[in-house]
Amino acid sequence: MNFCKYKEIIEEGDTVILYLGFNNMHAITVKKGETFQTRYGALRHSDLIGIKFGGKVQCPKGYLITLHPTPELWTVNLPHRTQILYTTDISLVTMQLELRPGSVVVESGTGSGSLSHAIIRSIMPVGHLYTFEFHPQRAALAEQEFQNHGISQYVTVAHRDVCSDGFGIENVADAVFLDLPCPWLALPSAKKALKQQGGRLCSFSPCIEQVQKTCEKLTELDFVELSTMECLVRNFDIRTISLPIADLGPHSGEAANNSSRQKAVLLDIGDADKTQNTSNDENQMKVNTRYHQDLIGQKNETSFCFKSGVPPTQMPGHTGFLTFATLYPQ
Amino acid sequence: MCSTLYSFTAKVILMMESTCLNSIKDESQVLIKKGENIKIFRVKKGRDIFMDNTKFSLDGAIGHPFGTTFDVVKGTLVKVANGSNKEIESAGKDTEGSQLKDNRDLYDLNSNQKLSKEEIERLKKDGVSGNELVEHLIENSLTFQKKTEYSKEKYIKKKKRKHVLQLTILRPTTRLLCEMYSKSAQKICYLRVDTLAQMLTYGNIHAGITVAVVDTCQGLVVGAVMERLGGFGQVIHLYHESIPNRTAVESYDFPVEMMKTLYSFPLNQVNTLTLKKATHEVNNECISNSDETIKDTSEQMDLEPDASRNVCDALIVDKNDISEKRTDVDSDANKLCEKSVGKNKTEGKRTHDESERKARKEQRAKEWKDARDLLERGQLDCLIIASKLHPTPIVRALMKFVAPSRPIVVYSQFKEALMDCGVSLREEGGMVNYRLSETWLREYQVLPQRTHPKIQMSGTGGYLFTATTLAKISVMTE
Ligand SMILES: C[S@@+](CC[C@H](N)C(=O)[O-])C[C@H]1O[C@@H](n2cnc3c(N)ncnc32)[C@H](O)[C@@H]1O
């Protein structure tokens, strides 16, 4: 299969994302004779062959959905060999590096290939990615993955220490991306790798001290438009919330006539409308409609009911700082 | 078939790379960046532009590569030599101990500067460049050496801003256009660069796919998608106003070959779309029907067939709406008024207009037909909505034209609109992987000993709803 070209029907050797729920997906490579254990029992790979991406497949205790892989789905399902970049940061990197079909990109380290897949998707079919990794096994596994995903023609994996040996290429890249412990050591060579007409650079670092050193080196090397940023994502759960209405006890004085709690609520809402010059009848009607369908939600005697986008109580508060810079034509 | 298409378009791309992308030409769209300020212009030989109250010509930029920095000297552009900028910046930098200085001995006095206003003016007239002038000012400042390093830099920056009109000419890209629009975010429905970035990745936008885009953000989203398709694939712009507003797309200066990948279809015809099986006859009927509408309304509104309706719709909404939106709609209405006023003036040219109008109508009918065919095939690879409209009815009307296992991406300035979208789609079924999210972007000042988040940040970049479509036969609940 080609990761970057949608196809309709699942065949042997394809990567399929099995979807069981938002936080419950698995990436598998279809191989006749193998089975995969899921919450719904064993899935025979051969049952996948011939069905549609976006279709469903029956397991003993329920069905799963078969999704076509995308770099985004791969990022949340890939085998971790290192820390990886997630889609929020990847999106910003792709945008800020101005990647598009035809871009030539240099990346280090390859790590688990999470970013690499997204880069390849954005620059193919006429661009190229040179990705550098000094850990021999990681480099080899990444190369194997690109092959399995049918995208190896767009990428060259090099096993190399870019901090001590440099990238070894000159005047080829439109963009450079660094995710290294000491990115400043790779900067002089990164500058050489960029095209003479200039280009963009990004460095991802979790710590501010790394950013500080990187920015100093970038300035020294005549990079301009330096800009460091942080991007976080917040997901919302759409929930129906029902807040109990407090029992504030019986009214005294004037309001004692409207002793039931329901009337108290009505009055409460009605008061807001009194400022407008409406007849009593009209007012009463308005009160009733407001009572049944408030602008924000619904109220009854005992509760106020509404839909809300609820953020998680815990969420990642930091991934890393992204530092971008431009090299103008030399 | 795809591979031949690729290699053909590859040629186009390479051609584009070599001819258009790298150097500034007469008629090029250029972004002029001066400090934080970015503006778009079209180079027109022999014509002056205005920026920062200065009139100058861009002729001097022609032939230079994008990314070149110029000084404005006597109304013309003079290329700045590489690195010459750095010297002046470091002139103010002295070494250790500078951190220890503080401002206890500094008073804000005009007399701190030995050069008088008249002397400065004379230097300028003598043709002393802005940078040289700033150096003179530093030499003649009584307080400069007493300043902390930080205020020295600030001083230089301030003086430069005042006396040096130095600018860099850049090629328009999504990144830079977002930066430009961030100063007038209401024009693009408050869509922020990081949000747009998420839309393009979650939409899995890449070469070779067909994308439908509902865009009332001046075409910025359409342009961003086209940039990522790079001439491979198709974009259908579903537009809201009577004619597509795509100012931003023009800014990109896409080559003609790439513009051919852009199709247009009016939102107010979406309900006439039928999935695939539509016969030729039905198609023709629809086209002639829509011609009818044009004829009817164009009697009153001239070239703006749906303008009157749009204004009405907008105003009705406005009545129940929050005050903030009122200004928005009003200005829209004003624009339309201006337009029709302009039209009345040209009444004399009626007959000429008549034939032109007919030609345009035929042209538009053809465009619509092509877009309609693409949509009705039901093989869209992505649906993106980024508009000021309520998204739910749009998604529901268009989702059946999206192929299975494809992303849909909906942007709104308001979370509630997307909550409605989410709840209603979940009820309808046919999709999985629902997600409602928001991103948060914080920029940093990075300087030795003075690194901290920027004092100002954007409070919102809008919200996103994404989901993945399923094969049509299977009815599913999550
Ligand atoms: C955090 S991981 C990169 C993750 C990657 N961005 C992703 O999204 O999957 C960093 C990688 O850089 C590699 N690395 C560290 N120093 C290196 C060097 N000097 N040269 C090449 N690779 C290096 C490490 O082996 C590691 O795999």
Q: Mean pLDDT across the stretch A30-36?
A: 95
- CA atoms of B458 and B128, how far apart (whole Å): 40
Q: Calculate Rg over the CA atoms of chain A.
A: 29
Q: Which residue has the tokens 């247009």?
A: B264
**What secondary structure does DSSP assign to B83-139, as a single string?**
THHHHHHHHT---TTGGG--STT----GGGB-S-HHHHHHHHHTT--HHHHHHHHHH
**What secondary structure does DSSP assign to B392-458, as a single string?**
HHHHHHHGGGBPTT-EEEEEES-HHHHHHHHHHHHHH-SEEEEEEEEEEEEEEE--TT--EE-S---
Atom from ligand 1 closest to the CA of residue A112? 9
How far from B310 is each of A311, B268, B461, CA to CA, in Å?
Answer: 36, 10, 26
Query: Could you tell me if B430 and B401 are in contact, meaning their C-beta atoms sit under 8 angstroms apart?
Result: no
Residues whose CB falls within 8 Å of the CB of residue B445, separated by 6 or more in sequence, listed in order: B451, B452, B453, B454
**What secondary structure does DSSP assign to B232-300, as a single string?**
SEEEEEEE-SSS---HHHHHHT--HHHHTTEEEEEGGGGGG---S---HHHHHHHHHHHHHHHHHHHHH
Predicted confidence at residue B287, as pLDDT, reads: 35
- CA atoms of B370 and B341, how far apart (whole Å): 33
Predicted confidence at residue B110, as pLDDT, reads: 65
Return the minimum-mean-pLDDT range out of A179-183, A296-300, B179-183, B457-461. Answer: A296-300
User: Which domains occur in chain B, in start order?
Assistant: 21-171 (3.10.330.20), 174-275+378-469 (3.40.50.150), 280-370 (no CATH)
Q: Which of A52, A101, A228 sits opposite B13 (nearest CB)?
A: A101
Q: Is the pLDDT of residue A273 over 70?
A: no
Nearest alpha carbon, ligand 1 atom 12: A109
Return the minimum-mean-pLDDT range out of A243-247, A270-274, B136-140, B249-253. Answer: A270-274
Q: How confident is residue B320, by pLDDT bands cut at 50, 70 and 90?
A: very low
- CA atoms of A242 and A114, how far apart (whole Å): 41
Q: How confident is residue A252, by pLDDT bands cut at 50, 70 and 90?
A: confident
| Higher-scoring residue by pLDDT: B123, A316 | A316
Q: How confident is residue B328, by pLDDT bands cut at 50, 70 and 90?
A: very low
**B407 and A70: CB-CB below 8 Å?**
yes
A72 is in an annotated binding site: no
- CA atoms of B422 and A116, how far apart (whole Å): 31
Q: How confident is residue B119, by pLDDT bands cut at 50, 70 and 90?
A: confident
| Higher-scoring residue by pLDDT: A21, B123 | A21
A74-233+317-327 CATH: 3.40.50.150
Instruction: List helix spans (H) across A152-279.
Output: 162-165, 183-193, 208-220, 261-274
**B13 and A65: CB-CB below 8 Å?**
no
**What secondary structure does DSSP assign to A283-301, as a single string?**
HHHHHHHHHHS-SSSEE-S
Predicted confidence at residue B423, as pLDDT, reads: 95
Residue B343: its H or E element: helix B323-345
- CA atoms of A321 and A93, how far apart (whole Å): 11
Q: Is the pLDDT of residue B172 over 70?
A: yes
Q: How confident is residue B109, by pLDDT bands cut at 50, 70 and 90?
A: low
Q: Mean pLDDT across the stretch A319-323?
A: 98
How far from A153 is each of A124, A144, A174, B208, CA to CA, in Å?
Answer: 9, 12, 18, 16
CA dihedral over A274, A278, A283, A285, signed as positive or negative: negative
**B436 and A212: CB-CB below 8 Å?**
no
How far from A170 is each of A114, A177, A190, A192, A214, CA to CA, in Å?
Answer: 25, 15, 9, 5, 21
Q: Mean pLDDT across the stretch A222-245?
A: 95
Confirm or reject: Cβ of A71 under 6 Å from ligand 1. Answer: no
3-class DSSP state of B142 = coil
For chain B positions 152-181, those within 8 Å of chain A (CB to CB) are 168, 173-175, 178
Residues whose CB falls within 8 Å of the CB of residue B379, separated by 6 or more in sequence, listed in order: B210, B401, B403
Predicted confidence at residue B184, as pLDDT, reads: 93
- CA atoms of B217 and B196, how far apart (whole Å): 11
Confirm or reject: Cβ of A166 under 6 Å from ligand 1. Answer: no
Confirm or reject: Cβ of A117 under 6 Å from ligand 1. Answer: no
- CA atoms of B211 and B221, how far apart (whole Å): 11
Angle between helices B350-376 and B280-301 (to 10 degrees): 140
Q: Which residue has the tokens 């999985």?
A: B432
Predicted confidence at residue A213, as pLDDT, reads: 97
**B67 and A197: CB-CB below 8 Å?**
yes
Q: Which of B6, B436, B442 sits opposite A236 (nearest CB)?
A: B436
Predicted confidence at residue B291, as pLDDT, reads: 36
Looking at the complex, does the CB of residue B212 fall below 8 Å from at least one CB of chain A?
A: no
Q: How confident is residue A283, by pLDDT bands cut at 50, 70 and 90?
A: low
Of B370, B369, B427, nearest to B396 (Cα)? B427
CA distance A14 to chain B (A): 15
- CA atoms of A16 and B137, how far apart (whole Å): 67
Distance A77 CA to ligand 1 centre (A): 19
Beta-sheet pairing, B48-51 with B68-73: unpaired
Confirm or reject: Cβ of A134 under 6 Å from ligand 1. Answer: yes
Predicted confidence at residue B1, as pLDDT, reads: 37
Predicted confidence at residue B41, as pLDDT, reads: 95
Distance of CA B160 to the CA centre of its chain: 29
Per-residue pLDDT of B365-397, as tens digits, reads 888 999 999 999 999 999 999 999 999 999 999
Q: Is the pLDDT of residue B295 over 90?
A: no
Confirm or reject: Cβ of A114 under 6 Å from ligand 1. Answer: yes
Q: How confident is residue B120, by pLDDT bands cut at 50, 70 and 90?
A: confident
Distance of CA A28 to the CA centre of its chain: 21
Predicted confidence at residue A49, as pLDDT, reads: 95
Query: Could you tell me if B236 and B371 are in contact, meaning their C-beta atoms sit under 8 angstroms apart?
Result: yes
Return the minimum-mean-pLDDT range out of A148-162, B142-156, B170-184, B242-256. Answer: B142-156
Interface test with B, best of A90, A100, A202, A212 (most B CBs within 10 A): A100
Average pLDDT across chain B, whole number: 78
- Residues in a beta bridge with A19: A25, A65
Q: Is the pLDDT of residue B87 over 50?
A: no
| Higher-scoring residue by pLDDT: B357, B231 | B231
Looking at the complex, does the CB of residue B422 fall below 8 Å from at least one CB of chain A?
A: yes
Is the bond into A109 cis (omega within 30 degrees of 0)? yes
Query: Could you tell me if A10 and B467 are in contact, meaning their C-beta atoms sit under 8 angstroms apart?
Result: no
Predicted confidence at residue B3, as pLDDT, reads: 43
**A323 and B446: CB-CB below 8 Å?**
yes
Quote the Cα angle for B142-B145-B147, to 5°: 100
Beta-sheet pairing, B48-51 with B54-57: antiparallel
Q: Nearest 5°: phi and psi at B276?
A: 55, -60
pTM of the model: 0.82
Which amino acid, one-letter code, is at B149?
E
Q: How confident is residue B321, by pLDDT bands cut at 50, 70 and 90?
A: very low
Beta-sheet pairing, B76-79 with B68-73: antiparallel
Beta-sheet pairing, B48-51 with B37-42: unpaired
Predicted confidence at residue A285, as pLDDT, reads: 52
**B403 and A215: CB-CB below 8 Å?**
no
What is the 3-class SS of B7-29, one letter each residue?
HHHHHHHHHHHHHHHCECCCCCE
Q: How confident is residue B336, by pLDDT bands cut at 50, 70 and 90?
A: very low
Predicted confidence at residue B297, as pLDDT, reads: 33
Return the minimum-mean-pLDDT range out of A116-125, A198-207, B426-435. Answer: B426-435
Q: Nearest 5°: phi and psi at A79?
A: -70, 120
Q: Name the DSSP class of A194.
A: B
- CA atoms of B458 and B372, how far apart (whole Å): 39
Give the residue extent of every domain in chain A. Answer: 15-69, 74-233+317-327, 237-309
Residues whose CB falls within 8 Å of the CB of residue B69, separated by 6 or more in sequence, listed in order: A328, B79, B80, B85, B166, B167, B168
Per-residue pLDDT of B16-42, as tens digits, reads 454 445 899 999 999 999 888 899 999
Q: Mean pLDDT across the stretch A302-327?
A: 94
Predicted confidence at residue A180, as pLDDT, reads: 98
Per-residue pLDDT of A6-28, as tens digits, reads 999 999 999 999 999 888 999 99
Q: How confident is residue B127, by pLDDT bands cut at 50, 70 and 90?
A: low
Per-residue pLDDT of A42-51, as tens digits, reads 999 999 999 9
- Torsion (CA) B38, B450, B461, B185 in degrees, nearest 10: -30
Residues whose CB falls within 8 Å of the CB of residue A114, separated by 6 or more in sequence, listed in order: A74, A75, A78, A84, A85, A86, A90
CA distance B22 to chain A (A): 8
Q: Mean pLDDT across the stretch B280-307?
A: 35
- CA atoms of B226 and B234, how far apart (whole Å): 8
A15-69: in CATH 3.10.330.20 = yes
Confirm or reject: Cβ of A106 under 6 Å from ligand 1. Answer: no
Q: Distance between the two ends of chain B, CA-based, in angstroms?
A: 37
Q: Is the pLDDT of residue B78 over 80?
A: yes
Q: Is the pLDDT of residue B335 over 70?
A: no
Predicted confidence at residue A291, as pLDDT, reads: 52
Predicted confidence at residue B292, as pLDDT, reads: 34
Distance B172 CA to ligand 1 centre (A): 32
Q: Nearest 5°: phi and psi at B131?
A: -65, -40
Predicted confidence at residue A151, as pLDDT, reads: 97
Confirm or reject: Cβ of A203 under 6 Å from ligand 1. Answer: no
Q: Is the pLDDT of residue A168 over 50?
A: yes
Percent of chain B exceeding pLDDT 90 equals 50
- Residues in a beta bridge with A41: A38
Predicted confidence at residue B81, as pLDDT, reads: 77
Beta-sheet pairing, A224-244 with A155-159: unpaired
| Higher-scoring residue by pLDDT: B146, A220 | A220
- What ipTM does the predicted assembly reach? 0.90
